[in-house]
Each structure stands twice: as C-alpha cells, then as structure tokens.
Structure 1
Amino acid sequence: MRIFIILFSFAFLVGCGNSNTLDKKQDNLSTISVTDIQGNEIHLSKAAERIICLFDPSVDVIYMLQAQDKLIGIPAETYFDNELYDYYKHIDTRILKKELPTPGSNELANLESIIQLNPDLVIAQQLPESIVKTLQGMNIPVYIAAAARYEDLMKEMKDISLLTGKQDRGEQLISYAENKIKDLQKRTATQEGSKHKSVYFTWANGKVFSTAGRNSMMNDCLDLAGVENACPFDIDKPNINPETLIEWNPDMIVMWNDSPDLFYNKKELGGITAIKERKIHNLMPMFYYNPHTFKSLCAAVAINQWAYDNDEKDNTEEIKEILSVLYGKEASEKLIKYL
C-alpha cells in the first residue's frame, strides 16, 4: 500500500508538471491575441515582422504606428492612385521607387503572390472566404479591418498596434485622438446659437448626388465637427436626386476633392442656401482628410471652422499639428509641405 501511494503521488506530480509545461508552451505559442471585426481570432507568438496590408486605411495605421519597416506588401492602388502615391512616396523610398510588392487590393488578392512573400500577418478589408481559409490553414493569420465607424478606428488602431509590437505608440495615438475629440466637443458646446449648421457632404469624381448617410464614417466626422448631416437616411452612401437636395436645403456643402462649379453651374439648385451664400468648401487634397483614418480629426477641424467662421485659429496650423502627432516629426515635415 505504501509503495502504491508513493507511485500514485509521483504520477500525480509528473502529471501536474506535464500540465504546467503544456500550459507554458500554450502561453508561448500565443502571446498576442486580438479579435477582428468579423470575429476572427488572431494569435501570434510574437509581434508580426512581415506584414502584407491590402487595405489602404490600415496601411495608414501602420505608418502612424511607425511600423512601416514591417510592410512587405501593399495595395495595388497605392501606385496608380495619385491621391496615395503622391504622398506616400515622400515618406517611403520603397514606394517612390515602386519596390514594395502589390499582391492585391481592397477587393482582389492574388493568393499565390501572397504565399510567395511568406508573410506572418495579412491585413485586408475584403477577401474571399476561400482565400482567408487557405491562408489560415497555412498558419498565416488574417486580420479583417473595416474602418467604417469611429469606434472601428479606435479598435483597429489598438489591435494593429498589438500585432505589430507598437502598443505604446498605439496608446499614445488613441489618447491624443480622444483628447482632440473632447476639445472639438467643447467647441461645439460653445458655438453661437443652439441650432447646428446643416451640412451636405458629397463624394469625389463628380458624384454630387452621392452623399454620406447617418450610418457612415463621414457622419461621425460631421458629428465631431459639431454640424448636422443634411442626409437623414440610416445607410452608408445613398444616392439622391436634385429635388431631394433642394428639399434638404443645407446651410453648407462639403465636397471631396471636386470643383464647387459642379454645384454653381446647376441653375436648378440656385435656391439652396449653401449655393446662394457660396458656402461650398473642399476637403482637398484628399490624403490629409481621409475619414477612414485618424485624419478624420483634420476633416472635423476644417468643417467646424468653415461652418462657424471661427477665425481665432488658422485651421491649417491645427491640421499641421494633428499630422505632426499622427505621423511623427520626420514624416509629417515631409508631408505638410504639400498641404
């Protein structure tokens, strides 16, 4: 009996030891864990060093985190869209020389090209489920981003900072954004009169009747600016007709990189307050005001000043200050030359 007890105790201790060893091994296998917008769990044993990013707003996050040295693949549109190439080329010589591979874009991806680059993390917005499953089966984690609402921006900044080993930098940027939002809210609370200005937003490339609904990142940006979205529809990007815009009669129109003449030349719209009072403004160049990134702060600052004629502070200087924090001193100095 004494021998049996000794043997049983020994087996129990060995079992516990093995269990602890397994637990430690499991912990070592997954020291970084996040869950993306689609509920996919991403586990890394260490910070990613070889990242393919096929979603432009997430590329911007990586540059803001100062983790661009980890990029080994970027969206194809980075090279042929001047609103991207003309700016990224100033802060990354690999983009200037078009040396970084482009194994896909926001909607299309070349599975073979991705695999050949041997990434330890892929970030995308839209990938076919078959590609995601194939990559996951090859132990290549896939993080799906959205950047569709402001809470997405905060979450994805935190997640990507963890995945890239830039947690401290991510916390710094999130804290800055939260403080800037509080500052904008204080400005809104002290605006003259209780009625906020009504603003109609229109997308680029001549789509003057394509706007931003209440369920959109641009709506969040308008809220930050302390104005009311003229569009009452609870969808992302509704298309309307001229009669609807006339009925809404916005106080101001904000355009996305297009000429105000697209409105001024339409005689049927001449009675709209924003057009009569020539209150049409342009977020241009687009790169500095992308609402799907933390640069939505730049857009909100500009819209707030346009709406309330706040001349106490030059918004260009404030936008430069925002960019300086978001990109860091060295990169921002190269970028603000073209603002």
Structure 2
Amino acid sequence: MKHTKILLSISMLLTVILLAACSSSITDQTANLQQPEQSEPAAALVTESPEGSFQPQQIIDASGEQLEFQSKVEKVACVVSLCVDIAAELGMEPVAIGESGVRTIAVAEEFYGEHGTTIPSIGGSFFEPNLEDIITVKPDLVIGLLGVHDSLREGLAGAVPVYLAQPKTYSDSVKLLEDIGRLTGRTDEAKAAAESFLGKLEEAKQKAPKDKKALIMYGTDINFSIVTDSGLGGSVLKEVSHYPFKVNDPSEDPYGEGSIQYSLEKLLEENPDVIFVESYSYSPGTKALSEQMQELPLWSKLKAVQEQNVIEVRSPIWGDGRGTRSLGILLDEALEALYPDLF
C-alpha cells in the first residue's frame, strides 16, 4: 500500500488560545451503550481539559499529519471497523458507517447489535468510500485506515478532517482511544475503557501459565499469512501464551504491520498447540481457510489439527476491529481456547 500524505491547513496557535479563552463550557452527554473493557490511543499534543470544558486540541495521526480542533467532535463517520470500535467504547454512535466488514462489526452484539442496521450507510467500496455520502451527514471527523484511505484527505479537503489510524500493538490501540476521547470530550469514557482492557490483560498475564503455543493465521486460500508477535493480535497473545512467531527479515513485512507470509512446512516445525484462523472471502461460497487447509496432507500432521484445536474466529473482530473492545473479545476467546480449565 502506498501512503500519500496531503497536509491540511492548520489554524494559528495564538488564535486557538484566544478562542479557547472566550468559549463557554460545554457539557458532555453520554450515550447509553455498554462499556466493556479496554484501553489507550495515538499521539496528543495538548493536556487533558478540565471536566465539563473543551480546550482546543492538536493531535498527530499515524501518517504524521497534525490535525487541530477548536471545538468538540460530536459527529464521527466511520470508513473502517476500528472507528466503530472506538465509537462504541466512548458511548457514541457514528453518524454513518461503511458497509461490508464495517457494518458487520457494528451489528455484532458486543457493539450496536440490531441497532447497527439503522446507522446511515456510506456507499462505495472499503477502498473508495462514497464522498457524497460522507459529506451529506456533515461529520466533524472521518476516521480511516492509513494506506487505504489516504486519498480521502484530498477528496474531503476543506469539508471534513480525516484521521488516518494504524495501530500496530495493543498499546497503540489504547493510545488512539484516548486521543479520540479528548477530541470528543469523552475522556472519562476513554479512561474507563482503557483501564478495563488493560486490567483484564494484566489479570490474564498473572493467571495464564503461558505453556501453550498459539498462532493466528489468516488468508483467503492456502497461500496464508500469520500474525507475528509484533502484529496487533500477536501483541496480545504473546502476553498470555508462548508465541514464538517473529519478523526475522524486515523485507518480509515491508509495511511494518507484523504479518508475514508463511508455509505449512514452517508451521509444522513450530507445531502450535492452538491455531486461531481468520478466514477472508472475496466471493460467495468460498470455503473457510481451515477447510481449504484440510486438503493438504501436511495439515493433518499438525498437533492443533490432531487435537481439534484449530479455531475459526470472527475475522471482522479479531482481524479488523483493531480497537480495545475487539482486542478484549480476542483475549477472552483466546484464553477460553488455550486454558479452558482456568478461564
């Protein structure tokens, strides 16, 4: 993926300070969403505002772009599942969301459930969201994925600021949550979600024996890839299991995402106890990845296969959610599979 960076115009800092001195207090209204356990978000330059007020904020997104907000962000449009995760954690509802995987995570019961079907739609594709649909709902902010939605900056220039995110570890996801919490005036909600996720993870680290070797693999067919310990899901699982998979050659992971292509022969050498499979499909009727792997003779030699510990997981949450709520779900489901007698 090629990352295009187009700078947004930035208001002068002195003007921001003068406006902040004159602005009246803004009270926060919290939505009645469930608040599972979670974390902290990506690079802020301004200290947290006093309760009940909003101070102008400057943040830097994953592209290195500095964005400035003179008023509280109240309406967020989501073209990536991560945005839905953040909104749910903060007790907000997006003003519009993309379709496909973004809608899938929105309607999951841990997020918005059936109500997720009523959130206005952003048409187009994941890679090219419909600009008119975004502008129509008049969002204060659009959250997209670095390397995928970079061109939205040009298309929405002068209309809506675009925050490009790319958390690579759970700490990045926690940091990102806190950043958006500041922009939306929902610092309390962000803090609570962050503490919940991190508290759950810490408890699991203390309780898990880490004597099980785990792996996350994903793909659309037998030419699969794996998530290493420097990938998002791997950064969680290495805290509670034996997770020896690493990026040894940077050229294998050119975008620094912590994922590499892998072979069945290498997989057999490591022979994990439990394999979590994220299956993706671009056409109807495609078999799950684990089903396709069954057609390969070496697959049956794996310990996880022989002991029926190959688990198809919810890819929209495990692979695409990226936020603290999704990572909390990943952690819960992984612990139950790895240590059923303890969790």
Q: Distance in 2 between matches of 1:119 and 1:179?
A: 33
Partner AA of 2:274 in structure 1: M
What secondary structure sits across from 1:152 in the alignment?
A: helix
Say whether the 8 Å CA contact 1:211–1:231 is kept in structure 2: no
Residues 220-264 of structure 1 deviation map (CA, whole Å, 9 limit, x = unaligned): 122133221445546333222322222222232222364755445
Q: Distance in 1 between matches of 2:104 and 2:134?
A: 24
Residues 172-219 of structure 1 deviation map (CA, whole Å, 9 limit, x = unaligned): 11111221121122123xx2xxx7432232225445732213331121
Q: Which of the numbers 153, 156, 169 marks the counterpart of 1:132? A: 153
Q: Distance in 2 between matches of 1:290 and 1:130?
A: 20
User: Kindly tell me: are residues 232 and 252 of structure 1, through their superposed partners in 2, closer, same or farther at Cα, counting changes over 3 Å?
Assistant: farther
Say whether the 8 Å CA contact 1:154–1:174 is kept in structure 2: yes
TM-score of the superposition, structure 2-length normalised? 0.69
TM-score of the superposition, structure 1-length normalised? 0.70
| Cα deviation, residue 74, structure 1 | 0.9
Which residue of structure 2 aligns with residue 220 of structure 1? Answer: 235
Residues 97-154 of structure 1 deviation map (CA, whole Å, 9 limit, x = unaligned): 4x50315554213334333333221211145655414534x15322111133212201
Residues 284-334 of structure 1 deviation map (CA, whole Å, 9 limit, x = unaligned): 485478661222223223323433x34144xxxxxxxxxxxxxxxxxxxxx
1:41 aligns with 2:71: no
- Equivalent residues in 2 for 1:145-164 (5 A)? 145-164=165-184
Which residue of structure 1 aligns with residue 135 of structure 2? Answer: 115
User: Kindly tell me: are residues 310 and 130 of structure 1, through their superposed partners in 2, closer, same or farther at Cα, counting changes over 3 Å?
Assistant: closer
Q: Distance in 1 between matches of 2:337 and 2:195?
A: 26
Q: Distance in 2 between matches of 1:105 and 1:47?
A: 29
What secondary structure sits across from 1:74 in the alignment?
A: strand
Partner AA of 1:135 in structure 2: L
What secondary structure sits across from 1:122 in the alignment?
A: strand
Percent of residue pairs identical? 18
Q: Which of the numbers 173, 197, 202 marks the counterpart of 2:212? A: 197
User: Kindly tell me: are residues 147 and 118 of structure 1, through their superposed partners in 2, closer, same or farther at Cα, counting changes over 3 Å?
Assistant: same
Which residue of structure 1 aligns with residue 38 of structure 2? Answer: none
Say whether the 8 Å CA contact 1:202–1:208 is kept in structure 2: no
Which residue of structure 2 aligns with residue 255 of structure 1? Answer: 277
Q: Distance in 2 between matches of 1:281 and 1:303?
A: 9
Which residue of structure 2 aligns with residue 12 of structure 1? Answer: none
Q: Distance in 2 between matches of 1:22 and 1:124?
A: 26
What secondary structure sits across from 1:254 in the alignment?
A: strand
User: Kindly tell me: are residues 105 and 44 of structure 1, through their superposed partners in 2, closer, same or farther at Cα, counting changes over 3 Å?
Assistant: farther
1:60 aligns with 2:85: yes
User: Kindly tell me: are residues 252 and 89 of structure 1, through their superposed partners in 2, closer, same or farther at Cα, counting changes over 3 Å?
Assistant: closer
What secondary structure sits across from 1:203 in the alignment?
A: strand
Partner AA of 1:174 in structure 2: A
Which residue of structure 2 aligns with residue 299 of structure 1? Answer: 330
Q: Distance in 2 between matches of 1:291 and 1:277?
A: 29
Which residue of structure 1 aligns with residue 11 of structure 2? Answer: none
Which residue of structure 1 aligns with residue 190 of structure 2? Answer: 170
Q: Distance in 1 between matches of 2:99 and 2:213?
A: 37
| Cα deviation, residue 66, structure 1 | 0.9
User: Kindly tell me: are residues 165 and 91 of structure 1, through their superposed partners in 2, closer, same or farther at Cα, counting changes over 3 Å?
Assistant: farther
What are the ranges of 5 or more consecutive residues in structure 2 without an aligned counterpart?
A: 1-13, 24-54, 280-287
1:269 aligns with 2:299: yes
- When the two structures are aligned, how many residues end up with a matched partner? 282
What secondary structure sits across from 1:107 in the alignment?
A: coil
Q: Distance in 2 between matches of 1:175 and 1:89?
A: 18
What secondary structure sits across from 1:228 in the alignment?
A: coil
What RMSD over aligned residues (CA atoms) do the two structures have, in Å? 3.4
